[in-house]
Amino acid sequence: MPVNPAHTALWPAPTASGAVDATVHVPGSKSVTNRSLVLAALASEPGWLRRPLRSRDTLLMAEALRAMGIGIEEGVGPDGTGEAWRVLPAGLRGPATVDVGNAGTVMRFLPPVAALADGPVRFDGDPRSYERPLHGVIDALRVLGARIDDDGRGALPLTVHGGGALDGGPVEIDASSSSQFVSALLLSGPRFNQGVEVRHTGATLPSVPHIRMTVDMLRAVGAQVDTPESGGEPNVWRVTPGALLGRDLTIEPDLSNAQPFLAAALVTGGRVTVPDWPARTTQPGDRLREIFTEMGGSCELTDLGLVFTGSGSVHGVDVDLGDVGELTPGIAAVAALADSPSTLRGVAHLRLHETDRLAALTKEINELGGDVTETADGLHIRPRRLHGGIFHTYDDHRMATAGAIIGLAVEGVQVENVATTAKTLPDFPDLWTGMLGI
Ligand SMILES: O=C(O)C1=C[C@@H](OP(=O)(O)O)[C@@H](O)[C@H](O)C1
Ligand SMILES: C=C(OP(=O)(O)O)C(=O)O
């Protein structure tokens, strides 16, 4: 197989010459942008997304919806300011082909949308997408009335034979490998004839804030959703059938992508301000305020944004990251530079993310001289003096940013394929060097 030079290119991670002091404008949230696109596509009137994230995952989502007949146009927002996408809903069409790349949101949120199309929709993606769990969506859609051809593994590639409508109704799923199964069924639920009632039967449920994000965003476009938090049964979500409104929505900055920049303040004893940090949000990255404070920093939400200040010391933590799994690589990187050991728990499902993140973090940190061991559901990290070397990233954007964090404090770290950050943050290398004043 020909080697893509971008995948083997080495990026010398800059070391920080002193305490960073910078303001970093972090682009929009992947999770909010891709939910907004789906909800706007399913609405009964046009809508606007202002300041959408433009990255591999969101461009794949937009392209897939276009392939199914939705209009997504470039424009300026209704008040004439800011870049925006105008979304023009239309009858969902097949035949169509969808490239999911390695985007969990695309591979899981769109098969239910495709079930509403009037013809077959073929889903394919990167080799890794074939290994990521999808059975919760495939099995549930079959129970709800869809016809799907797959190779029997409960994974990509597959074809959803859209019939123009879907019965919907009650369904049981095991979402212990991904919260996105639940989000996927809820997002399209208002358009199913009977709506949908999703009952999670697994022992654990990761990334619950991401399900709250789905519910909040559904309600914001007029859907009626009953949840465990609103007095319903535990692990049961119910969406009533009904039309969705087209809204004018401004996308929040991606707080999980703010992580490496906040980490830079923590690791260098400096200060980083992230403008437009929302006062209230369902994004899991908001937990960084608490976790990075426990690790030695302090933060303040001001008119300028979130101001995060490092103290010069970095401490280890013992923390359950089950709700906020996507923060694990960045926390592991900081923990490797701390003055005491860390235990990261509740994240066994990361083995099925962009790569096996527990194995990848263990191997790459240890190859720089670290002392990390995998546990059944996380990592033990005992900080040691690290040395330079190649930090492999396995096509995982968060491995690349984790390597950059370590490189701040360790001379000679070379991050392989930093371009993989394009999955959710194509501007990363420029934002990073800009923050460091290079
Ligand atoms: O719904 C979402 O937008 C996401 C849910 C989480 O997935 P898992 O529940 O599969 O971990 C998270 O890790 C992913 O980055 C984004
Ligand atoms: C797990 C992640 O992405 P995905 O949406 O592809 O699951 C992530 O961004 O950390």
How far, CA to CA in Å, does 290 sit from each of 13, 107, 255, 298, 427?
Answer: 27, 32, 13, 9, 26
pLDDT in tens, 388-415: 999 999 999 999 999 999 999 999 999 9
Q: Per-residue pLDDT for 2 more than 70?
A: no
How far does residue 347's CA lie from ligand 1's centre (Å)? 12
**Measured from the CB, is residue 285 less than 6 Å from ligand 2?**
no
Residue tagged active-site, from 197, 252, 326, 364 = 326
- Residue 8 burial by Cβ neighbours in a 10 Å radius (0-12, 13-18, 19+): exposed
How far does residue 398's CA lie from ligand 2's centre (Å)? 9
pLDDT confidence of residue 1: 43
Q: Which residues contact 348 (CB under 8 A, 6 or more apart)?
A: 358, 376, 377, 378
**Measured from the CB, is residue 326 less than 6 Å from ligand 2?**
yes
From edge to edge, which strands make up the β-sheet containing 298-302? Answer: 21-23, 271-274, 305-309, 298-302
Q: Which runs of E-coded beta strand occur in 217-332?
A: 225-226, 236-239, 248-250, 271-274, 298-302, 305-309, 318-320
Q: Which runs of E-coded beta strand occur in 13-124?
A: 21-23, 47-50, 71-76, 83-88, 96-99, 120-124
Beta bridge mates, 300: 307
Q: Which atom of ligand 2 has the smallest separation from the CA of 398?
A: 10
**Measured from the CB, is residue 328 less than 6 Å from ligand 2?**
no
Instruction: Check if the interface score ipTM surpasses 0.90.
Output: yes
Mean of the per-residue pLDDT values for the chain? 96
pLDDT in tens, 102-144: 999 999 999 999 999 999 999 999 999 999 999 999 999 999 9
Two tokens at 143?
Answer: 């129970």
Are 321 and 347 in contact, with CB atoms under 8 Å apart?
Answer: yes
5-28+253-435 placed in CATH 3.65.10.10: yes
Are 14 and 437 in contact, with CB atoms under 8 Å apart?
Answer: no
pLDDT in tens, 256-312: 999 999 999 999 999 999 999 999 999 999 999 999 999 999 999 999 999 999 999
Q: Which residues contact 80 (CB under 8 A, 6 or more apart)?
A: none
Beta bridge mates, 88: 71
7 phi and psi, to 5 degrees? -80, -20
Q: Which atom of ligand 1 has the smallest separation from the CA of 177?
A: 10
Are 78 and 48 in contact, with CB atoms under 8 Å apart?
Answer: yes
Are 84 and 49 in contact, with CB atoms under 8 Å apart?
Answer: yes
pLDDT in tens, 215-225: 999 999 999 99
Q: How many CB atoms lie within 10 A of CB 201?
A: 10
Strands 413-416 and 389-391: parallel
Q: Per-residue pLDDT for 3 more than 80?
A: no
Report the nearest-CA residue for atom 9 of ligand 2.
326
Q: What stretch(es) of the chain map to CATH 3.65.10.10?
A: 5-28+253-435, 30-250
pLDDT in tens, 310-341: 999 999 999 999 999 999 999 999 999 999 99
Task: Enumerate the known binding-site residues.
Answer: 30-31, 35, 104, 132, 178-180, 207, 326, 353, 357, 398, 423
Report the nearest-CA residue for atom 8 of ligand 1.
178
Two tokens at 304?
Answer: 């300028």
How far does residue 179's CA lie from ligand 1's centre (Å)? 6
pLDDT in tens, 164-185: 999 999 999 999 999 999 999 9
Q: Is 326 noted as a catalytic residue in this protein?
A: yes
How far, CA to CA in Å, does 261 sit from each of 20, 245, 324?
Answer: 9, 36, 17
**Measured from the CB, is residue 419 less than 6 Å from ligand 2?**
no
- Which homologous superfamily does the CATH classification assign to the domain defined by 30-250? Enolpyruvate transferase domain (3.65.10.10)
User: What is the distance between the alpha carbons of residues 35 and 9, in angstroms, rounded to a whole number?
Assistant: 33
pLDDT confidence of residue 76: 82
Q: Which residues contact 426 (CB under 8 A, 6 or more apart)?
A: 54, 55, 56
**Measured from the CB, is residue 398 less than 6 Å from ligand 2?**
yes
**Measured from the CB, is residue 353 less than 6 Å from ligand 2?**
yes
How far does residue 21's CA lie from ligand 1's centre (Å)? 31
pLDDT in tens, 203-212: 999 999 999 9
